[in-house]
């Protein structure tokens, strides 16, 4: 027991607490043992082993989460690259087809006038049309179909008593779609209902 008036020896003594746990409970890192605290072959306490096991579990969980995140990012990157590659391919196909449309228009006009029948150009025209169809290209604009401003460009409106809604009366220049994408609208004359 300490007296109320401590002796000079008691005044010089400091209370010293030593934490001998090998694993720091706050940082969960392995501490370097002080030479006087560690003896060869000394084993970790149950508490130290528990803290170490929990730290290992946390570390494993963190690395698994990082790996899953990296895998998801890689999958997203691959999908984005493939989507961009397909978009670039489609854009190039559209540009090539657009550049050939004037020649196709000339072949269509020659065919409509009967100038292709029995000539070598008839075979060339068929091959070009088949090539375009392979890419999903389809003509837009037929006489009698309903006028659709998303696919048709009205060059002239003609009033008519025979129609109840805007209808394609004549196709001036055929339009084309590639799948769902409009390459060129059809230039058409439109029959509109006559106003009363």
pLDDT given at position 150? 92
Predicted confidence (pLDDT) per residue in 175-189, tens digit:
999 888 899 999 999
Predicted confidence (pLDDT) per residue in 46-70, tens digit:
888 888 888 889 899 999 999 999 9
pLDDT band at residue 24 using 50, 70 and 90 as cut-offs? confident
Q: Residue 150: which domain range?
A: 138-196
How many domains, the chain? 1
- 104 inside domain: no
pLDDT given at position 170? 92
DSSP H stretches of helix in 113-162: 120-134
| 11 pLDDT more than 70 | no
The whole-number average pLDDT for the span 158-169 is: 88
- CA atoms 177, 180, 181, 182: torsion sign: positive
Name 184's bridge partners: 176
- 32 inside domain: no
Which has the closest alpha carbon to 196: 168, 161, 167?
161
pLDDT given at position 44? 72
- 6 inside domain: no
Name the residue with higher pLDDT: 75 or 9: 75
- 11 inside domain: no
Which has the closest alpha carbon to 173: 159, 187, 185, 183?
187
Residues 6+ apart with CB under 8 A from 167: 144, 145, 146, 147, 160, 190, 191
Q: What is the CATH number of the domain that holds 168?
A: 2.30.22.10
Element (H, E) at 157: strand 152-160
pLDDT given at position 38? 47
Mean pLDDT of the chain: 84
- 157 inside domain: yes
Measured CA to CA in angstroms, residue 95 lies from 80, 91, 106, 147 at distances of: 22, 6, 18, 26
Task: Supply the DSSP string of 47-88, one letter for each residue.
Answer: HHHHHHHHHHHHHHHHHHHHHHHHHHHHHHHHHHHHHHHHHH
What's the N-to-C CA distance of the chain in angstroms? 119
- 183 inside domain: yes
Lowest mean pLDDT among 5-19, 64-78, 96-110: 5-19
- 96 inside domain: no
């Amino acid at each position: 027991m300490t007296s109320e008036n401590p002796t000079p020896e008691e005044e010089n003594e400091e209370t010293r607490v030593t934490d001998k746990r090998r694993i720091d409970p706050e940082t969960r890192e392995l501490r370097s043992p002080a030479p006087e605290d560690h003896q060869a072959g000394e084993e970790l306490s149950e508490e130290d082993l528990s803290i170490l096991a929990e730290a290992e579990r946390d570390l494993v969980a963190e690395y698994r989460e990082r790996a899953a995140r990296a895998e998801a990012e890689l999958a997203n990157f691959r999908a984005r690259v493939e989507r961009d590659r397909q978009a670039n391919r489609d854009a190039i196909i559209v540009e090539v087809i657009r550049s050939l449309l004037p020649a196709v228009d000339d072949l269509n006009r020659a065919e409509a006038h009967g100038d292709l029948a029995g000539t070598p150009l008839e075979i060339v025209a068929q091959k070009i049309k088949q090539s375009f169809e392979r890419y999903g290209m389809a003509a837009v604009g037929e006489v009698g179909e309903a006028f659709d401003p998303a696919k048709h460009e009205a060059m002239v409106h003609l009033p008519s008593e025979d129609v109840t809604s805007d209808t394609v009366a004549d196709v001036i220049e055929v339009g084309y779609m590639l799948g769902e994408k409009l390459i060129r609208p059809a230039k058409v004359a439109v029959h509109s209902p006559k106003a009363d």
